[in-house]
Chains A and B, each alone.
Chain A
């Protein structure tokens, strides 16, 4: 009896030591360390991407997603021939270009002002920075609602009230097509300026003080110092900043959905909204898939520029 127990114990010990050896062996293989992340990446990013491509070459609908046939490039031919698609592309281009320019200029002015203010020990530098960043931490959907409240189109709406006090007329901020597009641009600038401000401020800290001092001693005006010393040194950060905010803005969805819902008509329907409505309101999964692929191509193209630039800078 005793010997049998002993044998069982030696077996357990053997198994345990084999298990622990196996465990320390697998620790030497990077594969096992990466496995969980790879699984998540595969299921929730790679697979949906492949699925988007597959959808885009079918005539799948949401009403019966199992009943479809492959139409290959017909979906793409159809969207590239549809005036809707080009209309939404135009709206997206205006929205993105205006937002990027405004965020960049606003971010640069704020970064410069705060850099100067901190160096001079002026009051309110930190408070200003926190104020700008507060807008950035608010969820996009709430930003849309906040601006909807600001832009109420009667004399009780606060912006319209201020305009009235200044002697103007009530403005149809959200029910006039062009004004609505402008409103989304303003709301998006409100949201995104903080990001540019922080990146450019970090960039400004890299500019050596000696260079600016030397330029000052040589009699350069502040504008000349900015134009000929700061700006050239800021170029890499500026470039990365432009690429990143362009990518973020192209994919804007929640803020516009809450603010205008793409309206009035389709005046503020950017590509992301167009894609979403195509799938969940008009049930055309094929077309929605194709728009997703077009957006993906734009995203990847912008990212390649970004990565190429980063790789040029240093090894990773």
Chain B
């Protein structure tokens, strides 16, 4: 498909079909978000107007003012958990990925195979026993426990992805550093890590989004409403105010907004992680 022939007004039927696909896709994927946003910006009484107003006649932030208190607590909890989880995962997985990339040892392939198997197991499958594990460890209803649990769940994915980035850095760099008298740890810190920062960014972003969105574990482990993450908070909120649609819409928008902003700003990394995480394992 060569480019450059034909002017702007010279669209063939495949161009038109493509535009039609674009139009339908944007309508289907954006409209629900637009609609919830529009719901959140109207006075409570205007939910039941007929005909339906796509853009509200009267725009107000009243709903946001009402949900502000609990929502900021939950947003703060989610941010805190997501940041600490991402730091923890790097501390745990960078050394492991380094070992799988740089050492030859017996059973290495089998362990890697096992990790890949673990990566594919959904948290949903182990949520029931996790309830008793957290009770046994005295970590029930604590952020600390949830963060440790998230690190555990994310070890397989993060180790695999980091290992694939380590593999792209040539061994000669290590050898050169060793000749200069660097220990393995110094080599890792001063030589290897600085050259794989984009890969580390992908790992951080995916872990951040995971912790932010995760529901079933947080729902099971956290009981006090002031400890809720935003996902659990939104769910509890809509259970409590089941027909206050403007409030539910406002709290949903607050849960979505940080992720969409982050995604649009860091799109490149998202797409990298998506394809590399899936295709390379």
Chain A contact residues, CB within 8 Å of chain B: 24, 27-28, 30, 33-34, 36-38, 40-41, 43-45, 47-49, 51-52, 55, 65, 109-110, 113, 116-117, 119-122, 124-125, 127-128, 130-135, 137-142, 145-150, 152, 155-156, 158, 161, 190, 193, 195, 198-199, 202, 209, 212, 222, 237, 240-241, 244, 247-248, 250-251, 253-254, 257-258, 272, 275-276, 279-280, 285, 288-289, 292, 295-296, 299-300, 302-304, 306-307, 310, 316
Minimum CB–CB distance from B207 to chain A (whole Å) comes to 13
Complex Cα distance A292/B256, Å? 30
Contact of B234 with A161 in the complex, beta carbons under 8 Å = no
Any A CB within 8 A of the CB of B179: no
The answer, among B18, B30, B47, for a CB contact under 8 Å with A122, is: B18
Q: Say whether A37 contacts B3, CB under 8 Å.
A: no
B14, A116: Cβ atoms under 8 Å?
yes
Residues of A within 8 A of B259 (CB): 137-139
Given the interface pairs A52-B125, A158-B52, the reply to whether A37 lies near B95 with Cβ below 8 Å is yes
Most interface-central of A40, A43, A202 (chain B CB within 10 A) = A40
Contacts of B232 in A (CB 8 A): 141
Q: Which residue of A lies closest to B11 (CB)?
A: A122
Q: How far is the CA of A61 from the CA of B209 in the complex (A)?
A: 34
Asked whether, in the complex, the Cβ of A195 is within 8 Å of the Cβ of B128, the reply is no
B255 proximity list for chain A (CB < 8 A) = 139, 142
The reply to whether B118 and A45 contact each other, CB–CB distance below 8 Å, is yes
Interface of B with A (CB < 8 Å)?
Answer: 1, 3, 14-15, 17-19, 21-22, 25-26, 28-30, 32-33, 35-36, 39, 47-52, 54, 91-93, 95-96, 98-100, 103, 105, 108-109, 111-113, 115-118, 120-122, 124-133, 137, 148-149, 151-153, 155-156, 159, 183-185, 209, 212-213, 215-216, 220, 230-232, 234-235, 238, 245, 248-249, 252, 255-256, 259-260, 263-264, 267, 270-271, 274-275, 278-279, 281
A36 to B213, CA, bound (A): 25
- B124, B132, B148: the one contacting A51 at CB < 8 Å is B132
On whether A156 and B50 interact (CB within 8 A), knowing A120-B3, A138-B259, A190-B29, the answer reads yes
